[in-house]
Amino acid sequence: MSVDLSVSLGTLTLSNPLIAASGCFGYGVEYADAVDLSTLGGVAVKGLFLAEREGHPPPRIVETPAGMLNAIGLQGIGVHRFIREKLPELRDRRAVVFVNICGTTIDEYVELARILSDAEGVAAIELNISCPNIKEGGITFGCSLPGTHNVVAAVRKVTRLPIIPKLTPNVTDVASFARAAEDAGADALSLVNTFLAMAIDVDTRRPKLTNIVGGLSGPAIRPIAVRMVYECRQAVKIPIIGMGGISDPEDVLEFMIAGATAVQVGTANFVDPFIWYRLLDGLRAYMARHQLSRLADLTGTLDATSRQQAWISS
Amino acid sequence: MPVDVDAAVISNTRLSDDYSVLALAAPAIAEAAQPGQFVMLKVSRGMDPLLRRPFSIFQRLRDERGFLTGLTVLNKRIGKGTALLYDAEAGARLQCLGPLGRPFEAVDPPAEAWMIAGGVGLAPFATLAETLIARGTATTLFYGARRAQDLHCAEVFERLGVHVVYSTEDGGRGARGRVTVPLEQALARTDRSIDLRLYVCGPTPMMRAVAMVAAAHGRRCEVSLEQVMGCGLGGCYSCVVLARDGSGAPHHTRSCIDGPVFDATRVVWEALAH
């Protein structure tokens, strides 16, 4: 049986739903010798500011059970060097490039979007309004409903590229932020970024990260992220890119059934840089087992009634 | 290009309560490995610990006919991951990704090579010594530890024909004191006309001290800095060290792909965590 793994994020069609998550895949080119970038549905590159940034001093990561905390601090080469030094190779490797952008003001987001709209080889803009590890910008927009609305609306005015705000889970009601982004003209949503968290060395009584706090990712957060995708699916019509601890094909399927059109894989790529092939094989096997010809048909197919009936009948 | 091998543990030789030498069947990695490169090992099948850990490739293993069959890593039990590795039994399988990182630059004769190792910092030097000796380069190992019984695997180097200079902090073997004691004496004795390359790996304060000594004597020195790493491939930006670029400006530099071997003069030592 021929199977169709493609998914659509508005006008953008991906060959499959697997996207490398921003901050977990460098600028993509680091992996190009090990992995055929064109086999991925997309590559979300490391968050870019207008200018270069050094990020936080190490230690920048610490492991926790089934997860890790990071506080990299958005070290990056800036948008101009990215376009000059990285984008041509990504284009040659036929990667579908999602450029994650971050600013401290709305004007910076607008400027970044303008610059990227003129660059060849950018498939979509992911608006980072959710990084928990920097003092200014980013999450200050993502934690305020007017902030989210205003930054998305301002970027909408200057670009025809698909705009995908990446939402933070560090709010009371993520669905209301999804609605604010949709109302302002977002084409899709990425959710979720990492959970603000902390780890302490009890012998020294010092934080394990230089930044004191960091973002928790990995399998530990997956059930919360799935719930948030499920809540947002009911709140908005635009496609959702789900993420949070995806490590196995079943995890991809779980996010899709909860309402995600595509997914991003981050932390698991650190553990296994060849994970993409294993995930694709697993998706194909599932489709064969369930006689599913189009993977996209799986999105939002959660049956929320059957569990309750089973309980009543027992 | 790195490969990921589901490597069988051939043997795990415990040298002490802390140290072991783990032999892994990974011929593809051994064939591609250059001195100073490392592998990322997944020490458990489960999710705690979740990430792989970096280990220098200690030795390349060969069968009787000389074909490469695998590699060894020198493991010191420090945390959860290294404890699991210390306990690993023959027959177990570990995901092993490599070879990774920028290697040492092995010098040719008439240049001489001096390797300076502290404790588990011995790890990258067996492959380097093998390469240097094969090129006919006169090779010395300055090997320091706290006590004589902490000086493991020295016979690996003596067998290769490396001149080994020992030092222990308690004076139990070789010179008494830090490894810089015999190193400084040897540098002072060595004629300027002899081209020397220093290679160092060990605890950060020791590497820093050696870098200072090397600079004071005008000798070029390469350091192997392995930091806490998330991925080993340049994806996560967690393993950065502050290193100067060509113009002298310091930048957070990924030790997985721009290192782990750096020219010692590039490293901003004050910024390195101890």
Q: CB burial class (10 A; 0-12, 13-18, 19+) of residue A188? A: buried
In this complex, is the C-beta atom of A26 within 8 Å of any C-beta atom belonging to chain B? yes
Structure-derived torsion over alpha carbons of residues B140, B145, B150, B151, reported in degrees to the nearest 10 = 10
Euclidean distance between CA atoms A79 and A47, whole angstroms: 9
The answer to whether B116 touches B87, Cβ cutoff 8 Å, is no
**pLDDT of A134 over the 70 cut:** no
Give the residue-averaged pLDDT of A143-168: 96
Q: Are residues B113 and B215 in the same domain?
A: yes
Q: Are residues B238 and B259 in the same domain?
A: yes
Residues B184 and B79 in one domain: no
Same domain flag for B74 and B85? yes
Give tens-digit pLDDT for A172-197.
Answer: 999 999 999 999 999 999 999 999 99
Q: How many residues does chain B have?
A: 274
CATH number for the domain spanning B188: value is 3.40.50.80
B270 to chain A: closest CA residue:
A57
DSSP letter for each residue of B98-152: EEESBPP-PPPTTSEEEEEEEGGGGTTHHHHHHHHHHTT--EEEEEEESSGGG--
Residues B207 and B230 in one domain: no
| Number of independent structural domains in chain A | 1
Query: Which residue range is the domain that position B233 belongs to?
Result: 226-274
What mean pLDDT is predicted for residues A303-310?
A: 69
Q: What CATH number is given to the structural domain containing B53?
A: 2.40.30.10
Residue A232 annotated as catalytic: no
Which tens digit of pLDDT belongs to each residue from B139-162?
999 999 999 999 999 999 999 999
Establish if A204 belongs to a structural domain: no
How many domains are contained in chain B?
3
pLDDT of residue A130: 83
At A310 the pLDDT is 56
Residues A201 and A203: their CA atoms lie apart, in Å, by 6
For residues B37 and B111, state if they share a domain. Answer: no
What letter represents residue A127's amino acid?
A: L
Give contacts of A66 with chain B, Cβ < 8 Å: 47-48, 50
CA distance A146 to chain B (A): 32
Q: B189-208, pLDDT tens digit by residue? A: 999 999 999 999 999 999 99
Which class for A124: exposed (0-12), middle (13-18), buried (19 or more C-beta within 10 A)? buried
A304 pLDDT more than 90: no
- Inform me whether the pLDDT recorded for A111 exceeds 90: yes
pTM of the predicted protein model: 0.94
pLDDT in tens, B13-40: 999 999 999 999 999 999 999 999 999 9
pLDDT at A1 > cutoff 90: no
**A281, two tokens:** 């094989």
Q: Which domain, by its residues, includes A248? A: 7-54+72-196+217-313
- Give Cβ neighbours of residue B120 (< 8 Å, ≥ 6 apart): B19, B74, B75, B76, B202
For residue B51, give both structure tokens: 């990430």
CA distance B237 to chain A (A): 7
pLDDT exceeds cutoff 90 at A139 = no
Give the CATH number of the domain where residue A123 resides: 3.20.20.70
In this structure, the answer to whether residues B126 and B218 fall within a common structural domain is yes
What is the bridge-based pairing of β-strands B139-145 and B163-168?
A: parallel
| A55 vs B contacts (CB less than 8 Å) | 237, 240, 252
**Mean pLDDT of the residues in chain B:** 95
Q: Give chain B positions within 8 Å (CB) of A274.
A: 4
* pLDDT for position A308: 58
Q: What is the pLDDT of residue A207?
A: 97
pLDDT tens, A9-50?
999 999 999 999 999 999 999 999 999 999 999 999 999 999
Task: Specify whether B204 is located in the same domain as B234.
Answer: no
| Confidence check: pLDDT of A309 > 70 | no
What average pLDDT score do residues B222-251 get? 95
What is the arithmetic mean of pLDDT over A223-229?
A: 98
How high is the pLDDT of residue B214? Answer: 97
> Measured between alpha carbons, how far is A177 from A190 in angstroms, rounded to an integer?
12
Prediction ipTM score? 0.93
Average pLDDT, chain A: 94
Helices A174-183 and A145-156 pack at an angle, to 10 degrees, of 30
8 Å CB contact of A72 and B233: no
**Of the partner residues A66, A219, A271, the one whose CB lies closest to the CB of residue B52:** A271
Q: For residue range B55-66, what is the model confidence (pLDDT) as tens digits?
A: 999 999 999 999
For the stretch A53-92, pLDDT in tens is 999 999 999 999 999 999 999 999 999 999 999 999 999 9
Contact at CB, B240 and A70, closer than 8 angstroms: no
Whether residue B139 is found in the same domain as residue B220: yes
Q: How many CB atoms lie within 10 A of CB A213?
A: 15
pLDDT at residue A306 greater than cutoff 70: no
pLDDT value of residue A288: 96
The answer on B230 and B220 residing in a single domain is no
